[in-house]
């Protein structure tokens, strides 16, 4: 029965850096009815490959299918189902300058970040932490009336 329990999972997909490769990956998720919780993609330094990190959820059976179906795509080089990983997500948040800047600064510092930009009316803060902690940060930030929060999506690396 363990195989049928839905769980949050993170996979890394290493792909040839060619046009429409991202479309192939996302179309596969859409076409076969798999969920995407978050997705990040960037080129791998000094190579012709890109690294796609996808946070998704599904049972072990579904995950096995996702992995195998991804493997079948011609430009996919490798699929890593993360088990022991370090995962981080970055968030940018914009607050009115009227809020207590030192409090916001302290909050951000607690989540591996700080204030990165101060303008006439707004300040922008950045934090980078585990996805679960990012959730807590967003909850905690609510009392400072954020006008905009942008999440970056998960990146992960196997330990």
Partner 1 sequence: MQMSGAQMVCEAIIAEGVKTVFGYPGGAIMHVYDEIFKQEGFEHILNRHEQASVHAADGYARATGDVGVAMVTSGPGFTNAVTGLATAYMDSIPLVVISGQVPSQLIGTDGFQEIDAVGISRPCTKHNFLVRSLEELPRVLKEAFYIARSGRPGPVLVDIPKDITVDIGEFVYPDSVNIPTYKPTYKGNAKQIEKAVEAMKSAKKPLLYIGGGVVLSNASDLVRELAEKTQIPAVETLMARGVLGAKNPLLLGMLGMHGNYASNMAMSETDLVISLGARFDDRVTGKLSEFAKYADIIHVDIDAANIGKLVDVDFPIVGDVTEVVKAMLPQLDGIDTDRFEAWRNILARYDELHPQSYVDSDEVIKPQWAIERIGQLIGEDAIITSDVGQHQMWAAQHFPFDRPRQWINSGGLGTMGFGFPAALGAKKAFPEKTVINITGDGSILMNMQELVTAAEYKIPVINLILNNHFLGMVRQWQTFFYEKRYSETDLTFQPNWKALAEACGGIGYDVTTKEEFDAAIKDAIAQDKVCFMNVIVNRFEDVLPMVPSGGALFNMMLPQKVDKPKETK
Could you list the residues that contact partner 1 (CB under 8 A)? 15-16, 19-20, 23-24, 27, 31, 61, 64-65, 68-69, 71-72, 74-77
CB of residue 81 to partner 1, shortest distance in Å: 14
Pick between residue 19 and residue 142 the one whose CB is nearest to partner 1: 19
Closest to partner 1 by CB, 71 vs 100, is 71
Cβ distance to partner 1 smaller for residue 69 or 112: 69
- Rounded to a whole number of angstroms, the minimum distance from the CB of residue 154 to partner 1 is 23
DSSP secondary structure, 48-78, as one string: SEEEEEEEEEE-HHHHHHHHHHHHHSTTEEE
- Residue 127, beta-bridge partner list: 91, 113
Radius of gyration of the chain (CA): 18
- C-alpha to C-alpha distance for 34 and 76, rounded to whole angstroms: 18
Q: Coil, strand, or helix at residue 107?
A: helix
Query: Least Å distance between CB 70 and partner 1?
Result: 9
């Amino acid at each position: 029965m363990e195989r049928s329990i839905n769980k949050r999972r993170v996979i890394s997909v290493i792909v040839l850096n060619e046009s429409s490769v991202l479309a192939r990956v996302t179309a596969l998720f859409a076409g076969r009815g798999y969920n995407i919780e978050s997705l990040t993609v960037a080129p791998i330094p000094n190579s012709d490959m890109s690294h796609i990190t996808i946070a998704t959820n599904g049972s072990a059976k579904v995950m096995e299918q996702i992995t195998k179906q991804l493997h079948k795509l011609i430009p996919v080089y490798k699929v890593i189902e993360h088990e022991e990983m370090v995962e981080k997500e970055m968030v940018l948040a914009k607050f009115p300058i009227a809020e207590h800047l030192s409090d916001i600064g302290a909050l951000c510092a607690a989540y591996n970040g700080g204030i990165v930009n101060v303008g006439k009316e707004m300040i922008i803060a950045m934090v980078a932490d585990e996805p679960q902690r990012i959730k807590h940060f967003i909850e905690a930030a609510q009392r400072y009336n954020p006008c905009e929060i942008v999440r970056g999506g998960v990146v992960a690396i196997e330990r």
